[in-house]
Amino acid sequence: MSRAQKGETERLVAEQQKTDATQLQGVNQAMHALTNDARAEHAHRMQEYNAVVTDEQAVIAAQVARQTAESQKGHEAAISKIRKEHEEEMAKLRRMDSQREGENNRTQEQKDDALELLRSQSLKVDALAETVSRMKLRKPKHRKNESEPKFQP
């Protein structure tokens, strides 16, 4: 190979290297642009995804809050119903207690009245028996008009 050919070959190689470097630089710039575009697209999609997820979380939170409130109302209603039934039962038991106490008091009063009546009658019987025994012990007085005494033992 001659010097001219060698120079020509070196010039062609240098030109080829320069073309390759330019192409490589263009490819690198294109890759860089595509990478930046992909990153931007990815960031945009992530923002959209985050917005959707945030919206879904808000919807779910609202549903949970509504269900919790409904459940709480249901629990409160059940507790209120049970409390009302309990109060009604307690009032009923208090009425029954006072009625029974009244009956016990009346029964005790009746017993006391019966005992008092019995004692009174016993005293009357005792007084009557005493009167009768005195009358038997007493000597009868004869009256002028009567031939027989009124009381005979």
pLDDT tens digits, one per residue of 80-134: 888 899 899 999 989 888 888 877 777 888 888 888 888 888 888 888 888 888 8
3-state secondary structure at position 2 = coil
pTM score of the predicted model? 0.41
pLDDT of the residue at 62: 95
Distances in Å between the Cα of 74 and the Cα atoms of 2, 62, 70, 77, 120 are: 103, 18, 6, 5, 67
How far is it, in rounded angstroms, from Cα 36 to Cα 39?
A: 5
* Confidence at 28, pLDDT banded by 50, 70, 90: very high
Is the CB of residue 45 less than 8 Å from the CB of residue 52?
no
Task: Parse the chain into domains and list their residue ranges.
Answer: 9-95
Is residue 70 scored above 80 in pLDDT? yes
How far is it, in rounded angstroms, from Cα 3 to Cα 5?
A: 5
What contacts 24+ positions apart, CB below 8 Å, involve 110-113? none
How far is it, in rounded angstroms, from Cα 61 to Cα 57?
A: 6
pLDDT of the residue at 146: 56
